[in-house]
Structure 1
């Protein structure tokens, strides 16, 4: 994990986000797959452990994804997420499970979109009830306490991962993010100024979740009005592993 650490004073003082390039970062990618196994197979039982006999979780979407990690000051893997690009028929993983859409919803162009997937934080780095978010980022502790543990990451880790996804999206012409998530997480993200719009009813897709979409241009405008310092940090140069 050859990362050079440059923490930001206000928004991420304990973690560095970076892109994981499979051909280059083999050790870090392996650690991410092991974390995916721990969370999805052992903790949450979304997948059967026997489907991953080597203790690493991966799937057919990995080759069509950009991978991101959050590292601690000690260079430990603390969190992981991926952005899945559309497949050959211009669809995304969530569409295999969330088949219904709300009335009037029109999906944005697939070529300008990606799906946030496998968002997770290592167990010992998850935020405890009562922990304060980074300066300048608001949240609701009562609601966050009700959120599923898997989807209740440390605010700094979440910001580090989202910053990397945002930088990657700007470089690659991605304007829209899909995400299948619990309503509680969507509300937490909204309070952290990451607004997603629900586009379909809840269904069982690794737990009870609903599909959401975010327009990054809308996100940028809203953030410029509500928290311009956070937007400037999101837009600043990102240090890659």
Structure 2
């Protein structure tokens, strides 16, 4: 049986009362994203060499063809989390995704066929999910970049609710907003196994998930049609679907649909 109507209402209401989702379009907001990524990916979990970023802003060649989003804590305005989606560029050398060479071939044939059969301009890689050090410490989840382990259990002092799932679901709300804006129909990602398990418990499940591999730590490659994922979530957890889609106002385009994507350059 699904959760009660009151609990379902709380998922969206509590998130929106505590956090704000922003698409990072200004140079100032994008700098905030890069600074958070430096903290998470160069200092806390040093997957990247901090000496390569003297300005303390972690960025790479994929950012020029990415869209960025962040989550703020309403009370202070501080950035709590960030994520980007990497999209295919206009030239052959810009057509590949960061995880592609490392991960896709590790998936089964059905997953590889699904990936190969999708128009690249309608695929985006979910990348650089990061939760701030201070917030991860509040959750006692400072061992992972995304702030998720199987032992996550945190009650916010203000409302007594678990905060961590809201952050992860809020990032998916941001991912969906960016995807709708840019005509994206499919998502690929290399995610921490614990994050995938947590999302699955909330009805957010990828169509295809590969084995655990070493890629910036232990990761599982994943690929899905966005509409398929969200339709499944709507049936399993309508409360989560409502949060991620903003009560159905944000829905992905259908695969192979003709669309005029907005300018994908980052401001």
Q: Could you say which TM-score interval applies, normalised by the shorter chain?
A: 0.7 to 0.9
The answer to whether the 8 Å contact 2:149/2:194 transfers is no
The one of 103, 110, 118 equivalent to 2:109 is 103
Quote the offset at 1:142 in angstroms: 8.2
Match of 1:75 in 2: 77
Please give the alpha-carbon distance, in whole angstroms, between the structure 1 residues aligned to 2:236 and 2:67: 29
Pairwise mapping of residues 115-154 of structure 1 onto structure 2 (< 5 A)?
A: 115-126=125-136, 128=139, 143-145=150-152, 154=164
The answer to whether the 8 Å contact 2:39/2:133 transfers is no
Which one is further off, 168-177 or 205-214?
A: 168-177
Q: Deviations over 1:22-60 (max 9, x none)?
A: xxx222221211111111111111011111111111000
Q: Secondary structure at the match of 1:209?
A: strand
Pairwise mapping of residues 13-24 of structure 1 onto structure 2 (< 5 A)?
A: 13-21=17-25
Q: Deviations over 1:91-122 (max 9, x none)?
A: 21101322523233211322211000000100
Quote the offset at 1:128 in angstroms: 2.4
Please give the alpha-carbon distance, in whole angstroms, between the structure 1 residues aligned to 2:46 and 2:62: 20
The one of 225, 231, 244 equivalent to 1:234 is 244
Higher helix share: 2
Alignment pair present for 1:56 and 2:67? no
Please give the alpha-carbon distance, in whole angstroms, between the structure 2 residues aligned to 1:66 and 1:75: 21
Runs of 4+ deviating beyond 4 Å: none
Q: How many residues align?
A: 213
Quote the offset at 1:143 in angstroms: 2.3
Please give the alpha-carbon distance, in whole angstroms, between the structure 2 residues aligned to 1:231 and 1:145: 22
Alignment pair present for 1:94 and 2:95? no
The answer to whether the 8 Å contact 1:198/1:212 transfers is yes
Unpaired stretches in structure 1, ≥5 consecutive residues = 1-6, 131-140, 147-152
The one of 147, 150, 163 equivalent to 2:173 is 163
Q: Deviations over 1:187-228 (max 9, x none)?
A: 111112210244444332211212101221212221221222
Match of 2:8 in 1: none
Residues 12, 224 of structure 1: alpha-carbon distance in 2 compared, 3 angstrom cutoff? same
Please give the alpha-carbon distance, in whole angstroms, between the structure 1 residues aligned to 2:208 and 2:241: 23
Please give the alpha-carbon distance, in whole angstroms, between the structure 2 residues aligned to 1:110 and 1:60: 18
Quote the offset at 1:81 in angstroms: 0.2
Q: What root-mean-square deviation, in Å, do the aligned CA atoms of Structure 1 and Structure 2 show?
A: 2.6
Unpaired stretches in structure 2, ≥5 consecutive residues = 1-10, 142-147, 154-162, 251-267
Q: Secondary structure at the match of 1:178?
A: strand
The answer to whether the 8 Å contact 2:192/2:220 transfers is yes
The answer to whether the 8 Å contact 1:125/1:154 transfers is no
Q: Secondary structure at the match of 2:110?
A: coil
